[in-house]
Chain A
Amino acid sequence: MMGMRAHFAGTLLAAAAMAAGASAVQAQSREVVIGAIVPSSGPFAEWGRTNTVTLKMLEKQVNDAGGVNGAKLRIAIYDDAARPAQAANSLRKLVGDDKALAVAGPLTSSACEVTFPVANQLKIVATSQASSKPGVAKANRPWAFRNTVDEGILAKVSVPYFKKNFNVESVALIYDAKDAVSTAISTRIMPAVMTANGVKVLNEKDPLSFNTGDLDVSAQVTKLKSLNPDGVVIGADYSQAVTVIREMKRQGLVKPVIGGTPLISSAILKAAPEIPLIAPATFYATMKGARAERFVAELQPLLRKESGLPPEIEPSMYDANIYEIVSMYIDAVKTAGVSGKPEDLEADRTKLRDHVAKLKGFEGLGGPIGFNADGDAIKAFYIVQGQNGAWETKVRGCSSANGGGC
């Protein structure tokens, strides 16, 4: 308890010092400001906090290398506690007070639904690092983007692999009914793709559901087991999926599991190592490739030094995504003729948007990145299999319409 209080006081002092430091810098030198909205408190705190460490690392890297066009880079990071209203107000603050050129975030789809319309109204680019609910950026053109791939595109590649590799003839559905992405994956995307691939969906009319925060899914899993499927579709984010997979193992339902990007995490690999998991990812911590490996090598020690994060933490897909988003903004500031003068702020923001919209072949951590007309990323993705505690790439795909360009 004493240690906690000392830590608390320390945090207060550090924060005060940081605030003082930031305003001093503002007074003395020209700077380029990029905004970020991350959920550093509340149920997604861990993602928000690793995002913060990632951005601080990037900021230091850029400034150590001489800044952006001679100006100092400042990444203004706000915590939205995963609450839509706070995310929208953070965006307003970034636009009005911080004079940010562009914004990375927010993370959750619910926050994006409320924040993207504000981005359109205030005319500033906002790119989410995680939202994968179908159509969220599309509904808020032309300023909203997402550095994620539509779950529908991913399923078209993951399902054939799942079917072939595990000889799956039939699947049963279970999903988190409180979560929009999970509902879309399990009740719309997966049934359609499964049927198109000749896999029978055993409970399409009556999919099993639970709610975010449920601890007990034993009844659902018992029913799942009675359907006797060859494979299981789990529509849930990884922390809820852990509960389902644990229960499957407990009841002896050891069948391969397939899901969407929300399944990707290192935590889920520990749930039941003998149950194979298939999910799409654009990045994972043990991924091969020079850029990805360097990113992990640099970020991981910083994450593990940070208090308030578990000691075994690894960079997440969303850390990679937000790193790419801000790197892409910096690249745009350098190449799109952004003047950086206060009177050109609106023009600069428009230049940034046009640059991002036309972006092709920007070097991301897992391959080149661009954006389609819906504002979602065209990038390489990997169908990965989680088994015995590690992810392993099985298929490489590309999210462009014709399959090329990655």
Chain B
Amino acid sequence: MLLQQLVNGLTLGAVYTLIALSFSLVMGILGILNIAIAELFMIGGFLGFAAIAAGLPLPAAVAVGMAGAAAIAFLIEKIAYQPLRDAPLITPLLSTLGVSIILQNVATNVWGSDPLQLPAEWFDRRFQLGPVSIGAMQLVVIGVTVALVALLAYLVQRTSVGRALRAVAENRDIARLLGVSASRITLLAFMLSGALAGAAGVMISLHYAAITPYVGVETGLKAIAVMVVGGVTRIFGALIAGPLIGIVEVLTVAYGGSQVRDLVVYGLMILILLLRPQGILGGARTDLGQRV
């Protein structure tokens, strides 16, 4: 049962990783918490769902979810962040909260509040590996996550756009002196982050096969904890922290009693914040403590 539980934890962790990465892209570069990411993930899920229901293949559905969420992220940046970029941190946090409320309402009015479900025959195949049974969709979730993270790693580490992203994250003013357009990079960070959240949404809606306009909040809060544990400004800390939190959750349920799960997860987050604010890997910047 332990092995099976680890597989469960890894799948959940993969999803957390994607959402935590989308939080930390914006957080790492701009130091703001874009609350609406939780809802981008929900919208991405609905879009992927609609694509599959319309008969598109899985890769196309993922693309649709990513594109839709990125487009909304573009609007969020233009309307709710750009005009407020020099305001205290708390202001964009609340303006993105405003966007969240609107997105939830739109989703309720368009798709209803009942869970949308795919017909059962979708992706239901399972593979038996000794004592462990893995669903085809679980493999897809983990696979897509690894692929997206690798793609993001390449983008950030190896391309000129990535260098610009890192330069802005390191020091906005110096980046500007070096000729990097901070506003273009900001927009890019928002859209990349939106695309990741959208992908996570599609994965979740297809794997768990049931999605409502209100799935964003709980998972979003957990993803924030994952981001913190991984180190807020260390973009790839989430790669470790996602599976870690996923497995911690699963093992708490399996051995400790499911009631204390949230206590454990948020307790771990606070502990990390207090003891290693730079994240479990260390090395992340901690000078983000700007005034609120």
Contacts and interface: CB of A to CB of B under 8 A. Distances in A.
B254 A272 contact: no
B249 interface: yes
A243 B219 CA distance: 14
Nearest to A265: B114
A193 interface: no
Interface string B13-25: 0010000000000
Residue among B11, B111, B133, B258 having the largest count of chain A Cβ atoms under 10 Å: B258
B250 A219 contact: yes
Given A43-B214, A250-B135, A271-B117, A219 B254 contact: yes
Interface stretch (A53-61, A84-92, A204-212, A256-264): A204-212
B253 A310 contact: no
Contact of B215 (A215, A246, A249, A308): A215
A267 interface: yes
Nearest to A222: B4
Contacts of B257: 206
Nearest to A43: B214
B113 A44 contact: yes
A41 interface: yes
A251 B215 contact: no
B230 interface: no
Contacts of B106: 4
Contact of B1 (A41, A45, A226, A247): A226
B76 to A, nearest CB: 14
Given A177-B259, A215-B208, A219-B8, A43 B113 contact: yes
Contact of A267 (B108, B111, B115, B213): B115
B173 interface: no
Contacts of A308: 108-110, 112
Given A211-B218, A223-B254, A251-B133, A246 B209 contact: yes
Nearest to A243: B210
B117 A222 contact: no
Given A206-B257, A223-B254, A265-B114, A45 B108 contact: yes
A78 to B, nearest CB: 18
Contacts of A246: 117, 208-210
Contacts of B109: 308
A223 B261 CA distance: 15
Contacts of A265: 114
B120 A41 contact: no
Q: Is the interface of B mostly helix, strand, loop or mixed?
A: helix
A102 to B, nearest CB: 27
A346 B250 CA distance: 57
Contact of B5 (A215, A222, A239, A267): A222
B73 interface: no
A223 B258 CA distance: 11
B204 A215 contact: yes
Contacts of A367: none
B215 A273 contact: no
A342 interface: no
B71 to A, nearest CB: 10
Contacts of B99: none
B254 A222 contact: yes
B242 interface: no
A361 interface: no
B117 A249 contact: no
Nearest to B257: A206
Interface in B64-119: 105-106, 108-115, 117, 119
Given A246-B208, A250-B135, A271-B117, A213 B12 contact: no
Contact of B250 (A47, A218, A267): A218
B283 to A, nearest CB: 30
Contacts of A267: 114-115, 117
Contacts of A211: 218, 262
Interface string B112-143: 11110101100010100000010100000000
B258 A220 contact: yes
19 contacts: A45-B112, A177-B259, A206-B257, A211-B262, A212-B218, A213-B217, A216-B8, A216-B11, A216-B208, A219-B253, A219-B258, A222-B254, A242-B117, A246-B208, A249-B120, A250-B126, A272-B120, A308-B112, A310-B112
Interface of A: 4, 41-47, 177, 206, 208-216, 218-220, 222-223, 226, 239, 242-243, 246-247, 249-252, 265, 267, 270-273, 308-310, 313
Given A213-B219, A218-B12, A246-B208, 5 more contacts: A43-B113, A223-B254, A246-B117, A249-B120, A271-B117
